[in-house]
Amino acid sequence: MKLIWTEQEQRKSVFLFYKRFMPYARISKKESIALLIADDEHILSPESSITDEHIMASLRLRPVGEFNLLIGMLVHPNFRGEGIAHELLSRVENSFISGKTYLFSLPHLIDFYRKHGFSDDIQAPNDIKMLYKKYTEQGKELIMMGYQIQSIKAD
């Protein structure tokens, strides 16, 4: 597996990936998008392009003022249950900033995100709180979490 951060010309593949498996997702040009793709020499050669079929998993970091919101984490159905989401988060963790990276988790994923340094015991900035309020007022059951550097991480 290889982690890549997409370039603008690769966004079409990302859009198609999300359209297939998370059709309600809206990708912004301002987002940073990380992809986990198969470590296939043909896929990774400079003359080849990535297609949505090559993507194993993806996540997006959306800027919200001076903060980042982790959104749209998606694992291709063929790779679910294989630890791909853990692998993806582990590989992009160096892009998270303590006290400045947030996410809105589904309740059943709280422990998953805790293993990667996120906590629901946080004081979020107003920009993040307002987005959270907007989503939860639409009836979405979500838990706001923030990335916090920890001295010891649980396995």
Architecture of domain 1-95: 3-Layer(aba) Sandwich (3.40)
Distance CA 33, CA 23 (A): 17
Distance CA 44, CA 34 (A): 15
Domain residue spans of the chain: 1-95, 97-155
Q: What is the mean pLDDT of the chain?
A: 89
pLDDT tens per residue, range 84-143: 999 999 999 999 999 999 999 999 999 999 999 999 999 999 999 999 999 999 998 999
Residues pairing with 147 in the sheet: 118
Burial-class residue 141 by CB neighbours within 10 Å (0-12, 13-18, 19+): exposed
Contact 33, 52 (CB under 8 A): no
pLDDT tens per residue, range 20-57: 999 999 999 999 999 999 876 544 444 457 777 789 99
152 has a pLDDT exceeding 80: no
